[in-house]
Chains A and B, each alone.
Chain A
Amino acid sequence: MTSYAELKTAADAAPRDFSKATALLKFVRGHQLRKPAVVARYGAAILNDRRAASRLGDEVWSVYEQTLLAALDVDDGELRDACEAAILERFDSASTPSQRVERLKGLVAEAAGDWDAAMARYAGLLEGNAANAAALKREICVLKGRGAKPDKVAEALNGYLAKFQSDSGAWQALAEVHAGALRFPDAVFCYEELA
């Protein structure tokens, strides 16, 4: 039962050993940790190395997605463009539009601060499937990113939670919004939903 710290130490100790880096990235992916600097560094190293990348097989696309998100976080334009290009080349076609790729395109737009373009993408996704939870959540993130007042954000989150009551991340986010606005009884209610 390894931990993130152990995997990271192992990967740091053997930078040329891509199996350790791959294991680290897989752990980060599985546990949904947010370690953008580490993921960007090791993801780029793996994807740059032809043999390591081909050894990944189909997992390479998960690594591309993960590295793209890390590149957005650390604001590495080249890494972002390279990952995006590779993903689009493989998955983005007019005949079989991919919802996952649309979401990634929306994320890239969000990172660039282009809120309207991002909202357009998510609206497109919701047109196809009105119950697309990922798109609904990203719309709320755009709302927050634009600097909406906590009341508006809470309203949007309530709307989302009315449809998806079991989303613990959303309950936690709503609790934090309430706590930040010093509405502690409401925050406690939301935290109770998490238990």
Chain B
Amino acid sequence: SVQALALQLASPRRSRVVLHLTPPQRSLRAPAWSVRRSPLLQSTSFARPGAMPKVTVAPLAHTKMLLHAAQYPHCAVDGLLIGAGAGADVSAADAVPLFHNGTLSPALEAATAAAAHDAAASGRRIVGYYAANEHIDDASAARTAGPVADALAKGGGAPAVLVQISNRRLADAGDHGLSAFARAGDSWGPLDVACAPSSKFLAALDAGIEIVDFDAHLDDVAKDWRNPHVGDWLEAN
């Protein structure tokens, strides 16, 4: 009977990170990709010791990225990183969530143009591209991630960083869950990620903050893909 229930949403905070398990679904949109070795991750070009290039991810960018991934746990999500710097020291101050329904060039071009324009207005530029895979155990970089980052670099005039959200690592609240790569010749070399762990993101998730990505904006143009409410919430909390 109903009375016999002792329900409580007292699960440990970590388990609320929704990329935890392959989500069962009413429709067929279940996680997909096979784990495959990506050429991107087989690079061996490491920087000289003591001069390891790194990307600094600000809490706002980190929170937006993970909120985007958490909002669409059954999809592959991607987005742009906005910030400053180049070469050995890149900083991502903000993130623009882009798609969860697949990334195709017309929408990507439109989104990039809009994001670049908005970034330029505040003296920043597109510094990188982030992505999270659909399948929780898929640690490879998406086939299109490298080409997209290259296209961003060509369009923006400066190299773009590739940030991968590691699905499995999200279960650990003390881990920011990001891996970064930068162009090194023909392939991609790993970058250090300087980022605070996920506590802000978990708090925002619990508060029910919803993110508007470019897919949602294309469905309803009244929705603001710049997500100012996330910045406001972070300042207030």
Is A98 at the interface (CB under 8 A from chain B)? no
Whether B32 contacts A153 by the Cβ 8 Å rule is yes
> Whole-angstrom distance between the alpha carbons of A79 and B8 in the complex?
7
Interface centre among B8, B16, B25 (most CB of A within 10 A): B25
Closest beta carbon of chain A to B15's beta carbon, Å = 4
Is B137 at the interface (CB under 8 A from chain A)? yes
Chain B residue nearest to A187 in the complex (CB): B102
Interface of chain B: mostly helix, strand, loop or mixed: loop
| Residue of B3, B8, B27, B73 touching A50 (CB-CB under 8 A) | B3
Is A69 at the interface (CB under 8 A from chain B)? yes
> Whole-angstrom distance between the alpha carbons of A78 and B7 in the complex?
7
Whether A75 contacts B208 by the Cβ 8 Å rule is no
A residues near B24, Cβ cutoff 8 Å: 69, 72-73, 107, 110-111, 138, 141
Whether B16 contacts A75 by the Cβ 8 Å rule is yes
| Residue of A72, A149, A157, A179 touching B28 (CB-CB under 8 A) | A157
Closest beta carbon of chain B to A187's beta carbon, Å = 9
A residues contacting the other copy or chain, number (CB 8 A): 52
Whether A40 contacts B28 by the Cβ 8 Å rule is no
B 84-117 to A, binary, CB cutoff 8 A, 1 in contact else 0: 0000000000000000011010000000000000
Is B21 at the interface (CB under 8 A from chain A)? yes
A residues near B31, Cβ cutoff 8 Å: 144-145
Is B135 at the interface (CB under 8 A from chain A)? yes
Whether B18 contacts A36 by the Cβ 8 Å rule is yes
> Whole-angstrom distance between the alpha carbons of A172 and B138 in the complex?
22
Q: Taking A75-B15, A157-B28 as contacts, is the C-beta distance between A111 and B23 under 8 angstroms?
A: yes
Chain A residue nearest to B25 in the complex (CB): A141
Whether B3 contacts A44 by the Cβ 8 Å rule is no
Closest beta carbon of chain A to B72's beta carbon, Å = 9
Closest beta carbon of chain B to A60's beta carbon, Å = 7
Chain A residue nearest to B2 in the complex (CB): A53
Is B34 at the interface (CB under 8 A from chain A)? yes
B residues contacting the other copy or chain, number (CB 8 A): 42
Is B221 at the interface (CB under 8 A from chain A)? no
Is A25 at the interface (CB under 8 A from chain B)? no
B5-44 interface with A by 8 A CB criterion: 5-11, 15-16, 18, 20-35
Interface of chain A: mostly helix, strand, loop or mixed: helix
Whether B22 contacts A145 by the Cβ 8 Å rule is yes
A residues near B10, Cβ cutoff 8 Å: 78
A127-161 interface with B by 8 A CB criterion: 137-138, 140-141, 144-145, 147-150, 153, 157
Interface centre among B18, B21, B24 (most CB of A within 10 A): B24
Whether B11 contacts A77 by the Cβ 8 Å rule is yes
B residues near A54, Cβ cutoff 8 Å: 2
| Residue of A41, A44, A75, A172 touching B20 (CB-CB under 8 A) | A75
Q: Taking A148-B34, A176-B102 as contacts, is the C-beta distance between A170 and B25 under 8 angstroms?
A: no
Is B153 at the interface (CB under 8 A from chain A)? no
Q: Taking A50-B2, A141-B24 as contacts, is the C-beta distance between A76 and B33 under 8 angstroms?
A: no
Is A88 at the interface (CB under 8 A from chain B)? no
Whether A72 contacts B5 by the Cβ 8 Å rule is no
| Residue of A44, A113, A147 touching B34 (CB-CB under 8 A) | A147
Closest beta carbon of chain A to B169's beta carbon, Å = 16
Closest beta carbon of chain A to B227's beta carbon, Å = 15
Closest beta carbon of chain A to B118's beta carbon, Å = 24
A-B contact pairs, 9 of them (CB 8 A): A36-B18, A78-B7, A78-B10, A107-B24, A111-B21, A148-B34, A150-B33, A169-B28, A180-B76
Write the residues of chain A forming the contact surface with B, with a CB cutoff of 8 angstroms: 12, 32, 34, 36-38, 40-41, 44, 47-48, 50, 53-54, 60, 69, 72-79, 82, 86, 107, 110-113, 137-138, 140-141, 144-145, 147-150, 153, 157, 169-170, 172-173, 176-177, 179-180, 182
Other CB < 8 Å A-B pairs besides A34-B25, A76-B11, 11 of them? A36-B23, A37-B18, A37-B208, A48-B7, A75-B18, A79-B8, A145-B30, A147-B137, A172-B29, A176-B32, A182-B143
